Amino acid sequence: MVLSPLIAVAAASIIIMLGILVQRDHRVAFLITLAGLVSSFGMLFRVYPIQGLAARQITSLILVDDFAVFYMGLILVATGIIAVLSFEYLKQRAGDHEEYYMLLLVAALGALTIVASSHFIAFFLGLELLSVSLYAMVAYLDGRDEGIEAGIKYLVLASVSAAFLLFGIALIYAATGTMHIGTIASRVAAVPWQTGGVNPLILGGFGMVIAGIGFKLALVPFHLWTPDVYEGAPAPVTAFIATVSKGAVLVFLIRLGAAIKIQSDPSLFAAFSLLAVLSMFAGNLLALFQTNIKRLLAYSSIAHMGYLLVPFLSGGRIGLSAAAYYLAAYFVTTLGAFGIVTLLSGKGREADRIDDYRGLAKRHPWLAGIFTAMLFSLAGIPVTAGFIAKFYIIAAGADSSLWWLLLVLVINSALGLFYYLRVVAAIYAQEKEPPGTQIRKHAVSLTGAVVLSVLTLLLVCLGVYPSLLIGVIEKTVLRLI
């Protein structure tokens, strides 16, 4: 019963695969995808009351607790939104698209496995399910050389990440004799970090695991080719990479860090602090020079991963709650931003240049307002979820006296404001005559507009009344403290 959400997603992907053998139908594949995701999400409500009594350990690999259930719900909702946006996006393009939904479900299954992993083997299996599906999704569209290039680059990045992870896991196993996170934590705790008696294999292993996870999260200096992948991938796939893929890996990192008390080791703490500072500065400074929306959002996501490391380093109830809230707000905002790009992308090319959005307020006033709200949230402007999320991070950092990291965060938030406002200015600027490079006015799907409107409403609700979500989050992190 506890594994039923994962089983439902896996079953939906198998049904689509078998259905392709009988009759190809884009709409049917999409409906099966939605049915599988909705069924999986509904089963979480049967799983959650069980977790009110105790967390369920499935063998030594999977731990389904409140923390895992919360992020499973977030991943399923995000995947459902991406599926809806993908349907409208792919409908405009020639070719067969049923396999896309099978890949999407398998990638979601990998992400669900990652967030419930209590063992390095389960984590690696989930990561490979996620990554191998994304190789094909990034290069999915026919006739796009940039898509094939992006797919190859993502393959190289994921392969290097896997190599680092496997070598690091092997070193940890050699030192502890186990790959179960809880057991590793107890054996590491037997020799406190502060005494300097920790096995060098453990430190080396964790160092390589950090490098592997750094590639998946696109932390600097492991961000090589990430903007190229964002630019070359189809817009819905880029949204999936920026949210579900990164979010799942970050959740595992939070679980791992909480278990081994990463804040107590000066070397690991310094390593993550350096990654946070480099990611914030490099992400924001490089975003200043971008004229491509997808590349701009790619560098922005690098900076946001740096922001998320601040509450991760803070630890404790406030730090973990702040990280969870920020991740939820980031999901909503990033899905909305890439959703706009998806809806405005035509059959010929994607709406990925800033000039494409010049005069958008005149052509599509409603979409212009939604995009503005998403950009304001990314910048941390009040009355949006992004503002509360950054405020929560600052509170967590102040609680742990991470003043220098907070100073870096504030400086970089100011830098980020500049390039977000540059896009907003283009949205409300006068359209050039003749239109030139702009995407001409075309019909926007009603389904996509409704999805983006709901995301905007949720964005404002989380910014005005965040206490409901915060209350849920604080209950989920209690098991990690």
User: Rounded to 5 degrees, what are φ and ψ at 71?
Assistant: -75, -30
Cα–Cα dist 6/408, whole Å: 40
Contact between 203 and 258 (Cβ < 8 Å): no
Cα–Cα dist 36/122, whole Å: 22
Cα–Cα dist 126/128, whole Å: 5
pLDDT at 157 over 50: yes
463 vs 160, 293, 364, 449, 471, CA distance in Å? Answer: 38, 25, 25, 21, 15
Window from 168-177, 338-347, 367-376, 458-467 with minimum mean pLDDT = 338-347
On the 0-12 / 13-18 / 19+ scale of CB atoms within 10 A, 348 is exposed
Instruction: Specify the pLDDT at position 95.
Output: 74
Give the mean pLDDT of 28-38.
92
Contact between 294 and 231 (Cβ < 8 Å): yes
Write out the two tokens for 122: 């389960």
pLDDT at 382 over 90: no
Instruction: Specify the pLDDT at position 64.
Output: 86
Cis before 227? omega within 30: no
Residues 6+ apart with CB under 8 A from 348: none
Cα–Cα dist 380/392, whole Å: 11
Residue among 326, 347, 329 nearest 337 (CA): 329
Contact between 235 and 298 (Cβ < 8 Å): no
Cα–Cα dist 93/87, whole Å: 10
pLDDT at 441 over 60: no
Contact between 427 and 357 (Cβ < 8 Å): yes
Cα–Cα dist 76/423, whole Å: 30
Confidence of residue 442 (pLDDT cuts 50, 70, 90): low
Give the mean pLDDT of 372-393.
90
Window from 285-289, 349-353, 358-362, 379-383 with minimum mean pLDDT = 349-353
Give the mean pLDDT of the chain.
86
What's the half-sphere exposure (Cβ side, CA atoms, 13 Å) at 390? 26
pTM exceeding 0.85: yes
Taking the CA atoms of residue 124, residue 309, residue 214 and residue 135 in that order, the dihedral angle to the nearest 10 degrees is 70
Rg of the chain in Å (alpha carbons): 21
Instruction: Specify the pLDDT at position 368.
Output: 87
Give the mean pLDDT of 172-192.
82
pLDDT at 197 over 60: no
Residue type, 115: V
Instruction: Specify the pLDDT at position 436.
Output: 47
pLDDT at 480 over 60: yes
Confidence of residue 202 (pLDDT cuts 50, 70, 90): confident
